[in-house]
Amino acid sequence: MAKTPTPHNGANYGDIAKTVIMSGDPLRAKMIAETYLTDAKQYNSVRGMLGYTGTFDGRQFSVQGHGMGIPSIGIYSYELFHFYDCDTIIRLGTCGGLDPNVKIGTVILAETACTDSNYGYQYNLPEGYVPSATPELLEAAAASAQKLGIPVMRGKVFSSDVFYNDAEKQAQWCSDGVIGVEMEAAGLYINAFEAGKKALTILTVSDNIATGEALSAIDRQLSLKNMIQIAFGMI
C-alpha cells in the first residue's frame, strides 16, 4: 500500500479494481473503458500507459494498457498484483497464427505458453517453463464465447522476446502444437503464478505467419470486438 503511486502508475491504493482487463495498446484500453465501462475515471497517464476504473453490470472493473513485451507487462502486472492487490488480470491482445489452418480473426484462449524469455529465472522456474492460465478463467471465457456464439481455439502460444525474429529459430519453439505467437502471455502467467493470483490471455489472430494473410482494418475492429465481448461476458 505504501508503495503507491509507483514510478509507472499514478493510481493510489484503492483506485484500481480487483479485476483488470489489460491490452498492449493504451489507446485500445481507453476505447474499451469508454465503450464498456460506466463512469470510467482515468487513474494513470504515466508514460501514456492509460488506466481507467468504472463499472460494468454494477461492479467495478479496471482497464489498463501494458505495453509491448514481457518486461513491460511484467512491470505493470507485478504492481497490480502486489501493490494494488488486484486478483485477476485478463489480457486482450493480438497474435500471429503459426499454423496455416489458424484463420485470421480467430479468437484464441491461451491455455499456456512457452517462451524464449528468461523472465522465469528470477522465480527459479526451469528455462522456457511457463505456468498455465488459471483454469476457472479459461472455463469462464469458453462458456462466455459459447453463449455469444463466437468460436474459439484453445491452445499453447509462443511468447517471444523478439518481434522481428529469425524464422528458423522461431520454428524451433513452435513445433510442439503451438498455435500462435505474441509477446506477453508468459510474463503475465509467471507473475500470476508467483503472486498466487489469476490470469488469462485472450488473443485475436491478426496475421498468419504461414500464409502471409493479415486482417483488414474493418475485420480487425470486428474481431477485437468479439474478444472484448468474450471478456466482458465472463466477468
| Exposure class string for 20-41: b at 16+ Cβ within 10 A, else e | bbbbbbbebbbbbbeebbeebe
Site map (CB under 6 A) of ligand HPA, residues 173-212, x = contact: --------xxx----------------------xx-x---
Minimum distance from residue 39 beta carbon to ligand HPA (Å): 32
- List the one residue from 163, 172, 177, 210 that touches ligand HPA (CB under 6 A): 163
Minimum distance from residue 219 beta carbon to ligand HPA (Å): 14
Q: Do residues 197 and 77 make contact, with C-beta atoms less than 8 angstroms apart?
A: no
- List the one residue from 19, 88, 106, 160 that touches ligand HPA (CB under 6 A): 160
Calculate ∠ Cα 88-55-142, nearest 5°.
45
Minimum distance from residue 157 beta carbon to ligand HPA (Å): 9
Grid look-up 479485476 returns 19
Minimum distance from residue 98 beta carbon to ligand HPA (Å): 9
- Of residues 15-74, those binding ligand HPA (CB under 6 A): none
Q: Which is nearer to ligand HPA, 134 or 170 (CB)?
A: 170
Distance, in Å, from the CA atom of 160 to the CA atom of 103, rounded to the nearest integer, reads 20
**In the bound complex, which residue of the shown chain has the CB atom lying closest to ligand HPA?**
96
Catalytic residue among 25, 87, 207, 219: 207
Burial class of residue 58 (count of CB atoms within 10 Å of its CB; 0-12, 13-18, 19+): exposed
Site map (CB under 6 A) of ligand HPA, residues 102-141, x = contact: ----------------------------------------
- List the one residue from 94, 191, 201, 208 that touches ligand HPA (CB under 6 A): 94
Tell me if residue 207 is catalytic: yes
For ligand HPA, the binding residues (CB under 6 A) are 94-96, 160, 163, 181-183, 206-207, 209
List, by residue number, the catalytic residues.
Answer: 207
